[in-house]
Amino acid sequence: MKNLLGQDLESLEKIASSFGELPFRGRQLYSSIYNSYKKINCIDDIKVLPSNFRTKLIKEGYIISGLRLIKKSVSNDGTVKLLLSTIDDEFIETVGIPSNKRLTVCVSSQVGCPMDCKFCATGKDGLKRSLKVGEILEQILLIQYEMNQKATNIVFMGMGEPLLNMDELLLSIKSINNDLNISQRKITVSTVAIPDKIIQLSEFSLQKLGKCQFTLAISLHAPNQEIREKIIPSAKSYKINSIVKDCREFVRKTGRRISFEYILLNKLNDQIDHADQLSNLIKGFQCHVNLIQYNTIDGVMFERSSSKNSQRFKERLIRNGINVSFRKSRGLEKNSACGQLRQKIAIQ
């Protein structure tokens, strides 16, 4: 199957020409795929194209939709989570988070995840495969359709480790920017941190995108190596000091501030001395700490930090001169963490 999603305007014009059509048919394809306000399920839905051209595209294996909606879950705060089936019968999740005039779409980059972070449901079944650019973009289009709202912000914080799917990640960012008209500055890439990949990301972004203006978010979640190894198995191969060193280099190369994601876990990483250790670790360069309330998961030993400890932790970071915010958690109903819809389907 050859997915038209992810193809730019020039590529679609060339595809149209290869079938003996005038280039404007490619422009019609482009407009139908990226600018339509209704869900386009298949090429035959694009009625503006001649039927014989649609037939030829289908016979040649072209598609514009490889995902199927299995389940839609709506939280009390309006957050929408979609469980989607891929063309090879795997399952992924994507989330739409509305706030004021914004719609943030949290997209998955892989089916499952190989990192097995102990606080996360996504990696419990390991990695199945990486997603293609069309599958990533379609998540955004499906959320827009289901919520009847244009996406304004994109975060690669769903299932998977984006830096282990870097080629498709960068192609997706390019298309989100150029074809969906969402600025790179409205895109965030979240990674648990992979050896050598942070520096590679800065270099490849400048080569393939011409600029690197998206936000890089590091899932740090610990103030020291010992605690990080308890919750993130991959930490053993990538020391926390090396991660911060590479982040400093990323900032130097791109001029973009780093965001450190930090889930507060009761009595494990939420104490005052932990705040001091974190401050000493990351001070002295452009960075920001995003404190996150833990979303509890059945069968996982971690507990959410108390409101008192969370506030004390934040105040200590501020006192130490660290830029910090408390990310408002959305969709906090029990067992609504990323990966859990997929888990429920898998065990049925």
Q: What is the pLDDT along the chain (348 residues), one digit of tens a residue?
A: 899 999 999 999 999 999 999 999 999 999 999 987 778 889 999 999 999 999 999 999 999 989 999 999 999 999 999 999 999 999 999 999 999 889 999 999 999 999 988 888 777 779 999 999 999 999 999 999 999 999 999 999 999 999 999 999 999 999 999 999 999 999 999 999 999 999 999 999 999 999 999 999 999 999 999 999 999 999 999 999 999 999 999 999 999 999 999 999 999 999 999 999 999 999 999 999 999 999 877 667 889 999 999 999 999 999 999 999 998 666 655 445 555 555 554 434
Final residue in a domain of this structure, among 63, 79, 107 = 63
Q: Residue 283 contacts by C-beta under 8 Å, 6 or more apart in sequence? A: 320, 321, 322
Question: pLDDT of 102-153, one tens digit each?
Answer: 999 999 999 999 998 888 877 777 999 999 999 999 999 999 999 999 999 9
Q: DSSP string covering 262-307, please?
A: EEEBTTTT-SHHHHHHHHHHHTTSSEEEEEEE----TT----BPPH
The question of whether 113 is a catalytic residue gets the answer no
Listed in sequence order, the residues at least 6 apart from 257 whose beta carbon sits closer than 8 Å to its beta carbon are: 215, 251, 286, 287, 288
Q: How far apart are CA 125 and CA 194, in angstroms?
A: 20
Q: Are 243 and 287 within one domain?
A: yes
Distance CA 304, CA 291 (A): 12
Q: 204 and 333: one domain?
A: yes
Amino acid at 216: L
Residues 34 and 91 in one domain: no
Q: Which residues contact 307 (CB under 8 A, 6 or more apart)?
A: none
CATH code for the domain in which residue 126 is found: 3.20.20.70
State whether 175 and 304 are in the same domain: yes
Containing structural domain, residue 57: 2-63
175 and 311 within one domain: yes
Domain-terminating residue out of 12, 33, 63: 63
Boundary residue ending a domain (35, 63, 91): 63
Chain-centroid distance, C-alpha 167 = 14
Write down the catalytic residue from 93, 138, 161, 168.
Answer: 93
Q: Are residues 45 and 142 in the same domain?
A: no
Total residue count of the chain as it appears in this document: 348
Q: How many domains does the chain have?
A: 2
Please check whether residues 233 and 265 belong to one and the same domain: yes
One domain, residues 165 and 45: no
Catalytic residue among 113, 212, 247, 338: 338
Running DSSP on this structure, what letter comes out for residue 347?
Answer: T
Question: 201 and 53 in one domain?
Answer: no
Q: Are residues 320 and 199 in the same domain?
A: yes
Q: What is the 3-state secondary structure (H, E, C) of 98-109?
A: EECCEEEEECCC
Same domain, 56 and 79: no
Q: Note whether 244 and 286 are within 8 A (CB).
A: no
To the query of whether residue 212 is one of the catalytic residues in this protein, the response is no
Q: Judge if 55 and 130 occupy the same domain.
A: no
d(CA 138, CA 144): 10
Which CATH number fits the domain that encloses residue 48?
Answer: 1.10.150.530
CA atoms within a 13 Å half-sphere pointing along the CA-CB vector of 104: 18
The per-residue pLDDT for range 162-211, each reduced to its tens digit, is: 999 999 999 999 999 999 999 999 999 999 999 999 999 999 999 999 99
